[in-house]
């Protein structure tokens, strides 16, 4: 191989690296829809927190709202969901409000704890039926998306990981035969 051939090959390889990097970076740009951007105002974040708190209410450990799940959900929907999933989720929020209005003639946030639980249980039953009968290419039910985000947001939050789960800040040596008693909390790390 002579110098001219070597330079031509290096130029060809470098050109591919530049074009490939540019294509990669183009794929990293944010393409959130305007609808998603404008949807999650402070009132909606509060609504998300109330629904999440009904799914994971405070007990001996804090609830989902206290763990900041209402603020976590918009970030995940905006940054991680496809356009189709975003639309499903956003339409689902409206369906929760419509169901509350149909069943109790009130907004969801005006319902008491028992009414909220009853409403979400009926939506959950509907979601389970939908999941059984849906095609593989159909989107997941909006309430399943909501429950997944609630659990993810809660158990990855500081409060969820330290108060609801067992947490050791600095793990010690590996112990494969650690005693477990029925009713013990699961490990956070």
CA distance 79 to 156: 17
120: left (phi over 0), alpha (psi -120 to 50) or beta: alpha
Q: Residues 157, 135: contact at Cβ < 8 Å?
A: no
Question: What per-residue confidence (pLDDT) applies to 189?
Answer: 62
Handedness of CA 121, 69, 98, 141 (dihedral sign): negative
**Residue 53, pLDDT above cutoff 70:** yes
Percent of the chain with pLDDT strictly greater than 90: 58
Phi, psi of 167 (to 5 degrees): -140, 130
pTM metric for this prediction:
0.73
- Residue spans per domain, the chain: 31-164
Taking only the tens place, the pLDDT of each residue in 165-180 is 877 776 667 777 777 7
Taking only the tens place, the pLDDT of each residue in 101-146 is 999 999 999 999 999 999 999 999 999 999 999 888 888 999 999 9
39 Cβ partners below 8 Å, 6+ apart? 74, 90, 93
Question: What per-residue confidence (pLDDT) applies to 118?
Answer: 97
Q: Which of 168, 174, 175 is nearest to 189 (CA)?
A: 168
pLDDT band for position 3 (cuts 50, 70, 90): confident
Percent of the chain with pLDDT strictly greater than 70: 83
**Residue 32, pLDDT above cutoff 50:** no
Q: Residues 141, 130: contact at Cβ < 8 Å?
A: yes
């Amino acid at each position: 191989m002579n110098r001219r051939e070597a330079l031509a090959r290096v130029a060809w390889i470098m050109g591919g690296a530049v074009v490939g990097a540019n294509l990669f970076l183009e794929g990293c740009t944010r393409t959130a829809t305007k609808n998603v951007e404008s949807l999650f105002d402070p009132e909606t974040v509060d609504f998300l927190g109330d629904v999440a708190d009904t799914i994971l209410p405070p007990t001996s450990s804090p609830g989902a709202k206290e763990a900041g799940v209402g603020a976590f959900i918009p970030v995940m929907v905006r940054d991680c969901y496809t356009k189709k999933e975003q639309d499903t989720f956003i339409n689902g929020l409206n369906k929760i409000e419509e169901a509350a209005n149909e069943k109790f003639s009130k907004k969801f946030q005006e319902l008491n704890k028992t009414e909220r639980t009853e409403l979400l249980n009926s939506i959950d039953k509907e979601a389970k039926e939908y999941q059984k009968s849906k095609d593989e290419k159909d989107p997941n039910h909006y309430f399943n998306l909501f429950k997944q985000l609630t659990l993810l947001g809660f158990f990855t939050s500081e409060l969820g990981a330290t108060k609801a789960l067992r947490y050791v800040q600095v793990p010690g040596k590996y112990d494969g035969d650690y005693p477990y008693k029925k009713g013990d909390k699961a490990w956070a790390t």
